[in-house]
Amino acid sequence: MQRARPAPADYHLISVMANFKTFEARVVRSIPLSDFTKHLELEVEGVNHFGYVPGQWLSVKAVTPDGEEMTRAYSIASPPTDNGHVAFCLNRVEEGFMSNYLCGLEDGATISFQGPFGDFTLRPPLRDTLFIATGTGVAPFRSMLHWLLANKERHQDHEFWLLFGARTEEDLYYKKEFQELETKHPNFHFLPTLSRAPETWKGLHGYVQEHVGEIVGMRSDMHAYICGLDKMVKANRDLLKTLGWDRTSIRYEKYD
C-alpha cells in the first residue's frame, strides 16, 4: 500500500520543527583571534552533513552555575561543508555568561544547540554587494563570502566589498584570510578600517559609515548587508536611505 505524502504545508512544518531538534557538537579547535575573541570550530555529532544557509545562526543552550537554562544566538562563521563542521566567532562580553562559557571551552568539550535559524541570507538575484561589519559581526560574512567565492558561477559578473571596522589591527579577525581572498578574486575588495589606528596604519581610518558613501557613490542598484551592534547597524541603514537606497536592498542582523 502506498503511504500518503505530506501536503506542501506539512513539508514547511516538518522543516521548521526539525530546527527545534537539539543537537550536540564537540569542540574540535578553539583558536584565539585576539585577547577577547575566539574562533571555535565544532563538529555536530550524529550527522554526516549539517545543512544551513550562509548567514544563519544557531541557538546555543547552557545551564548557568545557578541552574538557570540560557540560550543565546551565534552566527555560523563558516561556509557549509560535507563533514558536519561549523565555526563561531565569539567575543567575550563583560559579565556575560554564555560568551565567557563558550570562549572558555577546551578542545573535546560538547555544547547543545538548536537551529539553524534566521533569514539574514543572500537574496537572489545576486547584485554587486557591500558587506558592512564591526567586531564579531563579520561572522556571517565569512560564511557567505567563502561560499560565494568558492564557485565562479555563483559570483562572476559581480563585485563584493567587505567593509570591516575595528578599533585596532589586532581586532581585525580573519584579516590574512580576507586578504588572501582579495588576492585570489579581483571582484572581492577587503576594506578594513580602524577607529584607533596607529600612525603606521596605511589602510582606512575611522568608523565604517565614514566610508560607505565613497564605495557606493551614486549607485542604489546594489545590495547591502550589515551586521554588528545596534548603533552601527542603525547609522549605516540611515545613511544608505539618505543616499536614496530602497529599504528592501538593505538587510541587517543586530547582535544586541
Ligand X SMILES: Cc1cc2nc3c(=O)[nH]c(=O)nc-3n(C[C@H](O)[C@H](O)[C@H](O)COP(=O)(O)OP(=O)(O)OC[C@H]3O[C@@H](n4cnc5c(N)ncnc54)[C@H](O)[C@@H]3O)c2cc1C
Q: By CB under 6 A, name the binding residues for ligand X.
A: 57, 72-75, 88-91, 93, 95-100, 136, 139, 229, 253, 255-256
CB of 129 to ligand X, least distance (A): 20
**Of 216 and 255, which CB lies nearer to ligand X in the complex structure?**
255
Look-up of cell digits 565613497: 214
Pairing of strands 129-134, 160-166: parallel
Q: Are 233 and 252 in contact (CB under 8 A)?
A: yes
Look-up of cell digits 546555543: 60
Which helix (H) or strand (E) is 15 found in, with range?
helix 8-18
**Of 156 and 168, which CB lies nearer to ligand X in the complex structure?**
168
CB of 92 to ligand X, least distance (A): 8
**Of 117 and 201, which CB lies nearer to ligand X in the complex structure?**
117
Question: How many Å apart are CA 117 and CA 256, to the nearest integer?
Answer: 17
**Of 155 and 237, which CB lies nearer to ligand X in the complex structure?**
237
CB of 94 to ligand X, least distance (A): 7
Inter-residue long-range contacts of 170-176, CB under 8 Å, 24+ positions, other chains counted: 170/34, 170/35, 171/34, 171/37, 171/135, 173/33, 173/34, 173/37, 173/39, 173/89, 173/136, 173/138, 174/33, 174/39, 174/89, 174/138, 174/142
**Of 12 and 231, which CB lies nearer to ligand X in the complex structure?**
231
Q: Which residue is nearest to ligand X (CB)?
A: 96
DSSP helix/strand/coil, 182: helix
Q: Which three cell numbers stand for residue 153?
A: 558561477
CB of 87 to ligand X, least distance (A): 10
CB of 204 to ligand X, least distance (A): 23
CB of 130 to ligand X, least distance (A): 20
Question: In this structure, how many other beta carbons lie within 10 angstroms of the beta carbon of residue 226?
Answer: 28
**Of 245 and 255, which CB lies nearer to ligand X in the complex structure?**
255
**Of 88 and 155, which CB lies nearer to ligand X in the complex structure?**
88
CB of 255 to ligand X, least distance (A): 4
Question: How many Å apart are CA 236 and CA 210, to the nearest integer?
Answer: 9
